[in-house]
């Protein structure tokens, strides 16, 4: 367990903007390009711990060029969303999970930890202040981006003596401009995303920049995303920046199995991943489904596809929620993932999206949903 450092949310100071922004119409929103009026920031020093939080107008940071974030990648972040429910209330989805994961990420790169419950209170205040930016249309939300950076001015390689934790917010619609449509993947055979003993299970910015080149390479050949494999066995690990799920009919027993890779240190502990697994155990297992966190390989998917046993495949993440997969290019084969040509999502992907959104938007009252106090 990680020892968490105190934050006092009662010391929050608020400076409101004098120039409120004009809202961008929801259908014109591009993911992560539009930001709200304000930001939440907290500074930390090794001597004094977390200083009082501030909500200020959204503004540039002023940092010394020697700040350690720029040289040694002392940076971790989170992705979470605030939703507007049918009664106009603001809701966060499983924020405790994000705070727990961020503390694991920050601890791994010698950045400070923080009291997650206190931070949720601050984020809730911030989200409430930015309420007018949350579209009340299904599929839309306010993407919240908690970010922590090492700010110490030094080229010496060591634990940062100062840090900044800030949260910015961006109104967003569907992650892919094409909407809820099946994507084509290219299995990447020349690079790996993560490795045993590495940091692939942490949400570090440094894990994301190296994802772009394989994505561009895949796009050059007409694929939407790349599929990350690992090892000679060609274990399937993640898709682009999302966790990966497949549904297979078992060769021996004929039972349906929903599979995702286990949290062995190479897989990001996705909140959506965990939500899909919980919902599957709750709603699919009683119908006879086997729910597995186990290793599975590209040859296994290839064989299942050829036998007509690969029922469907989808990515799962906060940004896109669920992203159905049509096929995977692998070793000169196009492995079909169970969709008819006229079908954009399999039955499980569609159900998961509906079940998760129902809890995110508060249609179904559930403990995963955190109602922001007015
Ligand atoms: C996801 O939510 O799937 C992500 O990985 C967030 C992405 C914008 C970095």
pLDDT digits (tens, 9 = 90+) for 119-160: 999 999 999 999 999 999 899 999 999 999 999 999 999 999
242 lines ligand 1 (CB under 6 A): yes
CB atoms within 10 A of CB 68: 27
pLDDT grade for 177, boundaries at 50, 70 and 90: low
Q: What is the mean pLDDT of residues 9-15?
A: 97
CB of 240 within 6 A of ligand 1: the answer is no
3-state helix, strand, coil in the chain (%, to 5): 25, 30, 45
- Strand pairing class (38-45; 75-77): unpaired
Residue nearest to atom 9 of ligand 1 (CA): 241
For the segment 302-309, the average pLDDT, to the nearest whole number, is 98
User: What pLDDT sits at residue 98?
Assistant: 98
Reported as a pLDDT band with limits 50, 70 and 90, residue 178 is: low
270-285 pLDDT, tens digit each: 999 999 999 999 999 9
Q: Whose CA is nearest to atom 3 of ligand 1?
A: 317
| Rounded-to-integer distance, Cα 91 and Cα 360, Å | 7
Q: Nearest-CA neighbor of 69 among 144, 157, 185, 132?
A: 157
Task: Specify whether the CB–CB gap between 307 and 251 falls below 8 A.
Answer: yes
pTM of the model: 0.97
pLDDT at 2: 80
- Averaged pLDDT for residues 308-326: 97
Nearest ligand 1 atom, CA 315: 3
Ordered alpha helix ranges (H), 95-250:
95-108, 116-129, 212-220
> What is the C-alpha separation between 371 and 367, in angstroms, rounded?
10
- For ligand 1, say whether the CB of 211 is within 6 Å of any of its atoms: no
Average pLDDT value for residue range 92-101: 98
Please give the average per-residue pLDDT across 284-312, as a whole number. 98
Cβ partners under 8 Å of residue 365, min gap 6: none
C-alpha of residue 174 to centroid of ligand 1, in Å: 12
What are the tens digits of pLDDT across the range 349-373? 999 999 999 999 999 999 999 999 9
| Mutational test site, ligand 1, from 79, 94, 98, 207, max ligand atoms within 8 Å of CB | 79
pLDDT at 174: 84
């Amino acid at each position: 367990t990680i020892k968490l450092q105190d934050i006092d949310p009662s010391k929050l100071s608020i400076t409101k903007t004098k120039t409120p922004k004009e809202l961008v119409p929801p259908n014109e929103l591009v993911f992560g390009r539009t930001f709200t009026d304000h930001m939440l920031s907290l500074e930390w020093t090794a001597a004094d711990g977390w200083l009082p939080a501030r909500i200020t107008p959204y503004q540039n940071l002023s940092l010394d060029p020697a700040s350690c974030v720029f040289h040694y990648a002392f940076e971790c972040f989170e992705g979470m969303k605030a939703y507007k429910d049918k009664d106009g209330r603001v809701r966060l989805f499983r924020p405790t999970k994000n705070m727990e994961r961020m503390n694991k990420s920050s601890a791994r790169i010698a950045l400070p930890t923080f009291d997650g419950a206190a931070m949720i209170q601050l984020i809730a205040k911030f989200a409430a202040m930015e309420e007018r930016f949350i579209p009340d249309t299904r599929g839309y939300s306010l993407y919240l981006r908690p970010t922590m950076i090492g700010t110490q001015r030094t080229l010496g390689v060591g634990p940062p003596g100062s840090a900044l934790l800030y949260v910015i917010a961006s109104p967003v619609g569907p992650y892919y401009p094409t909407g809820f449509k099946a994507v084509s993947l290219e299995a990447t055979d020349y690079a790996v995303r993560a490795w045993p003993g590495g940091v692939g299970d942490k949400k570090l910015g440094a894990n994301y920049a190296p994802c772009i080149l394989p994505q561009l390479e895949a796009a050059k050949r007409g694929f939407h995303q790349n599929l990350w494999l690992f090892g000679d066995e060609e274990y399937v690990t993640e898709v682009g920046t999302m966790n990966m799920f497949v549904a297979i009919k078992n060769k021996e027993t004929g039972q349906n199995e929903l599979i995702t890779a286990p949290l062995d240190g190479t897989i990001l502990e996705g909140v959506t991943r965990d939500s899909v697994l919980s919902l599957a155990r709750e709603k699919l297992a009683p119908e006879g489904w086997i729910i597995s966190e186990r290793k599975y390989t590209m040859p296994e998917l290839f064989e299942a596809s050829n036998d007509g046993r690969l029922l469907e495949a989808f990515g799962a993440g906060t940004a896109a929620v669920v992203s159905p997969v049509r096929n995977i290019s692998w070793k000169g084969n196009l492995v079909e993932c169970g969709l008819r040509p006229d079908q954009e999502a399999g039955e499980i992907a569609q159900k998961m999206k509906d079940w998760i959104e129902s809890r995110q938007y508060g249609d179904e009252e559930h403990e995963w949903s955190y109602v922001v106090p007015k």
